[in-house]
Amino acid sequence: MPTYSALTTVPGEARANAIAQSLEQLEPAPVGVGVFEIEDDSGLWEVGAYYTEPPNPALLDLVAEALGARPFALSELPEIDWVAKVRRELSPVEAGRFFVYGSHDADKVPQDPGRIALQIEATVAFGTGHHGTTLGCLRAFDRLFAAGLRPAKVADIGCGTAVLAMAAAAVLPEALVLASDIDRVAVDVAEANVAINGLKGRVTCLEAAGFAHEGLHKAAPFDLIFANILKGPLIELAPDMAAHAAPGGHIILSGLLVVQAEAVTAAYVVAGFRPEAREDIGEWSTLVLIRN
């Protein structure tokens, strides 16, 4: 069955949400609508709608004009087995001692006992290790571990596949490791990955927005916190991050563009952290900071 997409951009979240609501009232109705902030400090939001029958261009033009959006770009999407495609294109990732792979590459897992293999499947949750942000977080943690860091309590906020939480649990057998995500589907994926990697009981997965969960409050303060999300939520979380990080504790932040790194760093300095390290991988940046 062919699939069609209609994409536009508009200034401001309110207009973007209004467009999404308007699209759902049209015929044919979309099977899904997404609203996303474009993380380039432009203030633009993207609205994407997906259809199983061709949308009406005239109606879309009316919606765009009425709400001050750019004209919709319409496309017919090819019929692709995306999971099979992703599996073909995602080769194993090496980040220091960590080797992240899919089940289709199980034969490539190194037999070196000093290497930590983590199996992550191509799913709807973010974090396969290939993206510059996840890779940067794994590299940062590997360097801290090599330098002697042994946190007793670890939190992975916005965990996606839970690859970062699992990396911590794999090398810190005595540590308390919590992984949380705002999306229930991501939490389910995280729990499945934890089980696949034999870490059930070692990583506790929670559904939470930021630190808004009793389990996170009770476990705090944390000696190490991962947060691989986006610039806006990272800045909003800075005070909560300070409240839940132990004095002298480390945080590893990513999900931000290189051009956003200074703004995020500044927000965390104000919240009571000092920068320790930064790595840029392509257009993405990873920050390591310490709680004063």
Residue-wise pLDDT for 249-258, tens only, equals 999 999 999 9
CA distance 174 to 166: 13
> Do the domains 3-77 and 132-291 sit in the same CATH topology, yes or no?
no
Amino acid at 12: G
Query: According to the model, what pLDDT value does residue 86 have?
Result: 56
Number of neighbours of residue 193 by Cβ within 10 angstroms: 27
The domains of the chain are located at 3-77, 132-291
Query: According to the model, what pLDDT value does residue 125 have?
Result: 45
Mean pLDDT within 24-42 = 88
Whether residue 2 is predicted with pLDDT greater than 90 in this model: the reply is no
Mean pLDDT within 129-157 = 92
Q: What is the mean pLDDT of the chain?
A: 91
Query: According to the model, what pLDDT value does residue 126 have?
Result: 52
CA dihedral sign of residues 208, 209, 212, 217: positive
What CATH number does the domain located at 3-77 have?
Answer: 3.30.70.260
Whether residue 81 is predicted with pLDDT greater than 70 in this model: the reply is no
pLDDT band at 177 (very low <50, low <70, confident <90, very high): very high
Whether residue 241 is predicted with pLDDT greater than 90 in this model: the reply is yes
pLDDT band at 102 (very low <50, low <70, confident <90, very high): confident
Element (H, E) at 269: helix 261-271
Closest by CA to 172, choosing from 188, 185, 153, is 153
Query: According to the model, what pLDDT value does residue 104 have?
Result: 77
Query: According to the model, what pLDDT value does residue 85 have?
Result: 58
Query: According to the model, what pLDDT value does residue 77 have?
Result: 79
Cis-peptide into 28, omega within 30 deg:
yes
Query: According to the model, what pLDDT value does residue 38 have?
Result: 85
Q: Output the pTM of the full model.
A: 0.73
Whether residue 54 is predicted with pLDDT greater than 80 in this model: the reply is yes
Q: What is the pLDDT of residues 139-148, one digit of tens each?
A: 999 999 999 9
Would you state the CATH architecture of domain 132-291? 3-Layer(aba) Sandwich (3.40)
* Burial of residue 278, with CB atoms counted within 10 A of its CB: 0-12 exposed, 13-18 middle, 19 or more buried: middle
